[in-house]
Every structure is written in C-alpha cells, then in structure tokens.
Structure 1
C-alpha cells in the first residue's frame, strides 16, 4: 500500500522533545513524515517562509527573534496563518494560563491544542490523525477551559437550575411541579430551551444532566 507523504515542521527548542515527537509519529502506519526542525523564532520564520508544510507542531515558549518582532509561538502561528492558511497548526505547550489559551484559540483557531502534561504518544498520534480528517483535537485541560468559556456565555435562572437539579436526582418531568412553582407545561418549555442552549438533541434527561454537570450548572 502506498504511503502518504506529509511535510511536518516541528518548532520546539528542546531537541529531546522534538525528536521524541518525530519518533512517536513515525509509528503511524501509511504515513511518511518529511520532518524539519526549528529551535527558535528565527529558524522558524525562515522555514515557514520557504518550506511548504502540511502540519506544524508548535511550542509557545521559544527564544525570540533577533529583531524582537517575534517573541513567542503565538507570533509564529499568526505568520503561519498568513503564509500558509491551509497548514494545520498543533500547539503543544506547558503553559496553562486560561486567558492566554483562550486568546490563542480565538485568534489562531489551531487544529490541535495540547498541554504537554496531558498527553502521551497515543494522544499525539490521534491529534495528528484528527487533523487529517478535518477535526480538531484539544487535550483535557484545554477542553475544560473551552467548556467554562462556553458556560460563561449561557444564562440560566434559578428555575432552570432547579429543573436540572431535580432531574439529576432522578425525578421525572411530570413530577417537577411538586418542587418548583411552575406548571408542567412551563417546565417542559424550559427543558426544551436548556436542551437547545446545551446543544443536547437527545430526548433523554440523562444527556441533559450530563452536559449541565460538565458546564458546572449542577
């Protein structure tokens, strides 16, 4: 079976980590990675502008460029989006500051975003394979941040929270009016609104409760 050739740029200042990424990805069957390395912003700029790559593994903490215009991985990601919009960017970092991470997601929209301590070799391979399928891959810490941000944009009132609570305790919808001063019809309308807000299309209460717990509403 013919193997797919992928040009991969690894931007990482630690040679040990960069080579570990290369070795892990070499285990993916049916794919041959043509790997190029950059260990600082100057090397990265040179290779971003001269080598066509399909995938970039990008660290955020890097030695700055000599002209001090590029001081971190975010600056390089902006350059990649400008020079090669179709390139998949996978960020691997030790940084866990939520506001900084959310800003990067909003500005760069990386195809992958992973905290190094969250992942192992299998996760890295899955992240790469997901990008080939047009999907994104976030590690558990990043997913947690995005859920909190999503939750902050949703407004629910005390009645909604009571509905979610009693459903989580196993109560049936028809019995909720025993606990909440609303008619059964009004409760059903609110349940429908909650399903739309939480993007839960399944009619089962279990899925609504599950999503509400993920977002910290109950």
Structure 2
C-alpha cells in the first residue's frame, strides 16, 4: 500500500484512549492520516458505511447499538470486512479470553491483533506500519495463544491443545463445543488425528490425555 493520505478509523469507547491513539498515529513520520473516531457501535456503523477507510483500530468491548444489532467489536469487524474489503484491520483490546480470540482470528482474520497490556506507543506504531506494508502483527499474548507445535512432522495447533486441556479437566467430548468454536464432528476428527499422532502402538484403548501429558502438551 502506498503510504500517503490514508483514512484511519479508530473505534474505541474511552475518549482519552482514542485520542492517545490519534496522537501516536500523528507522530508517525511520512504519513498523513485522516483520522475519524467512533466511541460506540452506532458511530462506528455510520462511519463505516459513509466513508472508505484504509485502516482501522477496533476495540472489542463497546456500547451496543440502539437497535441492538451490533453488540461488540466482532460485529463491527464483520461489517468492516463486508463493507470495505480492502480495509486493514487491527484489533486492539484488553480481552484475553482464549476461545474468543481464536474465534475472532478464524472468523475475521485481522491483519493486526494486539492486547493492550502487551504494547507501548512504539509497538503500536510498528504494528500500524507493518499492517500497512501487508505484514501481520500479533502481540506476544496473541502469538502465544496461536503458536503451533510440531511432533513427528505433524502440526498440533491451539484448537488441538484446547481439546486436550478440556478433556484432561474431565469434560466430555459432547460438551467441548461450549469451550471451543468447533463442531462436534470437527472435534472428533481432531481427536482421531491426535490419537494417531500421540500413540506409538496400535493400542485400541489408548488414553489420549495420558499420552498428551507424557509429551508435555498439557
């Protein structure tokens, strides 16, 4: 993306924080940002539909819209993806719920995903520049939640680790959809893959949780 005059949308309900973001952005040399700020879902929806933005910062915890159609940042992220397909999206939030973060990555696929406690002003500048240059920027907490493990050349991702964790806590497979944004069928497929991967024998009654603990996966 050519970095010159860019329309930048900040969606953040705390005005002091939103203005702090604006000041940080204005201090980035070589770029002239035309910055709009929305402090709630209604303001955000209006700006998204009225103006083409090149990049946006989105908080997840926001006052809901008057018609209750938009209740959180995820709804606005989906709207942005549908209304302005070329807009680069950076989610900047204090939310650290594991399943929610993974669901957002799966459904919205933001170019940037930052936890507020992870970053300072320089990190935010770097994230914005990376995203504008078609790179992804995830803060350390997001990276730790999405990291992948490879065993015998086969990748175990975070959904796999979540399955193992909840099984180790005594949850039944049929109840895992309460914690993991996957269907029962998808979870069963992953369990079968994990049993094949972790078992060194053809043992029919292989204990998946014990096998995972032995390898230090949980």
Query: Map of 1:181-192 to 2, 5 A cutoff?
Result: none
Question: How far has the Cα of 1:29 moved from its partner?
Answer: 1.0
> What's the offset of the Cα at 1:127?
0.6
**Deviation readout 1:68-96 (Å, 9 max, x if unpaired):** 01000000000000100110010010110
* 1:157 alignment partner, one of 173, 186, 198: 198
Q: Partners in 1 of 2:198 and 2:15 — Cα distance?
A: 52
User: 2:101 and 2:131 mapped to 1: Cα distance?
Assistant: 19
- C-alpha separation in 2, matches of 1:117 and 1:70: 26
Aligned pairs for 1:1-218 within 5 A: 4-147=4-147, 150=157, 152=160, 155=194, 156-157=197-198
Query: d(CA) in 2 for partners of 1:73 and 1:124?
Result: 19
Q: CA shift at 1:147, angstroms?
A: 1.1
RMSD over equivalenced CA pairs, Å = 2.2
- Deviation digits for residues 138-160 of structure 1 (CA, Å, limit 9, x no counterpart): 0100001101672537854377x
Q: Which runs of 4+ in 1 moved over 2 A?
A: 151-159
Unaligned runs of 5+ in 2: 149-155, 161-189, 201-215
Deviation at 1:129, TM superposition (A): 0.7
Provide the residue aligned with 1:189 in structure 2.
Answer: none
1:5-26 per-residue CA deviation (whole Å, 9 max, x = no partner) reads 1100000011110011111111
Unaligned runs of 5+ in 1: 160-215
TM-score, normalization: structure 1?
0.69
Q: Which has the larger radius of gyration?
A: 1
Q: Deviations over 1:18-39 (max 9, x none)?
A: 0111111112111011100100
Note the alpha carbon deviations across 1:33-75, whole angstroms, 9 max, x for none.
Answer: 1100100000000000001100110000000000001000000
Structure 1 stretch displaced more, 43-52 or 19-28 = 19-28
Separation in structure 1 between the aligned mates of residue 132 and residue 20 of structure 2, nearest angstrom: 21
Question: For residues 30 and 217 of structure 1, what CA distance do their matches in structure 2 show?
Answer: 46
Instruction: Provide the secondary structure at the position in 1 that maps to 2:79.
Output: helix
Q: The residue matched to 2:9 in structure 1 has which SS?
A: strand
The 2-side partners of 1:158 and 1:106 are apart by 29
